Amino acid sequence: MHLSRFPRVRLAHLPTPLEPAPRLSEALGVDIWIKRDDCTGLAGGGNKTRKLEFLLGDAMAQDADTLVTQGAVQSNHVRQTAAAAASCGLACEIILEERTGSTAADYVGNGNVLLDRLFGAGIRTVPGGTDMVAELETTADQVRARGGRPYVIPGGGSNAIGALGYVDCAREIVVQADDLDLEIDRIVTATGSAGTHAGLVAGLAVMGADIPVLGIGVRAPKDRQEANVRKLAHETCALLGHAGRMKDELVVADCDYVGEGYGLIDDGVIEALKLAARTDGLVLDPVYSAKAMKGLIALAGQGRFEGETVVFLHTGGAQGLFGYHSELDGKL
C-alpha cells in the first residue's frame, strides 16, 4: 500500500488523535475510543479533508484552475472543498441541493453556508431531488465556456481517488493501535456518500487487518448503501493494485437510525449530541456523527458490543450545528 505513488496536496493535521472516551464508555458499558477526524484542521476539520488531499493532488496534476462540487445546503464536504480551493489558489463553484426542504434563516444562511461564502466560493442552489451529477457537468461546462479548467469532485469527495484518504486513515488507526497496545474489535462510522466507509474497508483489507467496520447509515436504505460501499471499496482496491482483495461480506451498514431522512434531526439525534458533549466534551454534528452516535447508543443498549473495544470515527461537522439553531433551541 504505497500511497506516495498518488499525487497529494497536504491539507490535514495528521495523524489525528486516537483517544479514549472514559465517561462515554461508562455511560454505555462499552470500551469506546474516538478517532478524532474532527481535528483534521482545514476549515475547522472533518473527514473530507483526507479525501481532498488526494483529489486536490489529482486536480493539480491535471492543471485545473477551478474545483466544482455539490452537496446539501449544510454540506461539510462543500465547506472543506471551498477552503481547500482557497488554500491552493483555485476558484471553486458549488451547487447546494435543498435536500431537507428547510427554509429556516439559520439553515440557509449560517453554519457551513456562511463559511462557503467566506472562502469565496461561487454558490448556486437547486431544489431537492435535482440530478446533481447533471448539475456538476452543467457547471463544469460553464467554467470551460469562460476559459477555465474545471475539476469535478463528486458529492462527499467519494470516488476511488478520494477514498484513498481513508485507506490512509485505516493505516493510521492500525499504527496507533499497535503503539497503544490496543486491540480494536470494531470501527463504527457514519456512512453516507460511501467514501469514508469504503476507504476504511479497502485499506484494512489490503493491509490484512482483521477489524470489522460498521457503517451507521444517514440517508439510503441498507441494501443500496451496502451496494454503494462495496462498489467503491472494490474500485479503491483496484486503484491500489489489489483487485479482489476486498470480500463483499466486509461491508456492513445499519440503516435503522436515519430517522425521517437525510439532515432531519429527531430526539435520538439530540440525545446523542447531548451525551457526547456532556460526558467527554465531544461536539458532534446533527447530520452525520450524531446519527452514527445515535446508532451506537442504541446498539450498545441492545448488547451488540458487549466485551468489545470500539473505535468511533468522529467525522467532524460541528460547524453545521449553527445551521440548526432554531431546531435545537430549547432542547439542549
- Minimal CA–CA distance to 285: which of 40, 165, 33, 112? 112
Residues taking part in catalysis: 75
The number of angstroms, rounded, from the C-alpha of 176 to the middle of its chain's C-alpha atoms is 21
The number of angstroms, rounded, from the C-alpha of 217 to the middle of its chain's C-alpha atoms is 12
220-227: long-range pairs with CB below 8 Å, 24+: 220/192, 220/255, 221/255, 222/253, 222/254, 222/255, 225/191, 225/194, 225/253, 225/255, 226/251, 226/252, 226/253
Residues 6+ apart with CB under 8 A from 258: 217, 218, 219, 291
How is 250-290 classified by DSSP, letter by letter? GEEEE-TT-TTSTT---HHHHHHHHHHHHHH-----TTTHH
pLDDT in tens, 271-319: 999 999 999 999 999 999 999 999 999 999 999 999 999 999 999 999 9
**Beta strand pairing status for 66-72 and 150-152?**
parallel
pLDDT in tens, 150-165: 999 999 999 999 999 9
Q: pLDDT tens per residue, the chain (332 residues)?
A: 789 999 999 999 999 999 999 999 999 999 999 999 999 999 999 999 999 999 999 999 999 999 999 999 999 999 999 999 999 999 999 999 999 999 999 999 999 999 999 999 999 999 999 999 999 999 999 999 999 999 999 999 999 999 999 999 999 999 999 999 999 999 999 999 999 999 999 999 999 998 999 999 999 999 999 999 999 999 999 999 999 899 999 999 999 999 999 999 999 999 999 999 999 999 999 999 999 999 999 999 999 999 999 999 999 999 999 999 999 999 99
In 10 A of CB 15, how many CB atoms?
17
Query: Of all helices (H) and strands (E), which one includes residue 314?
Result: strand 309-314
pLDDT of 160? 98
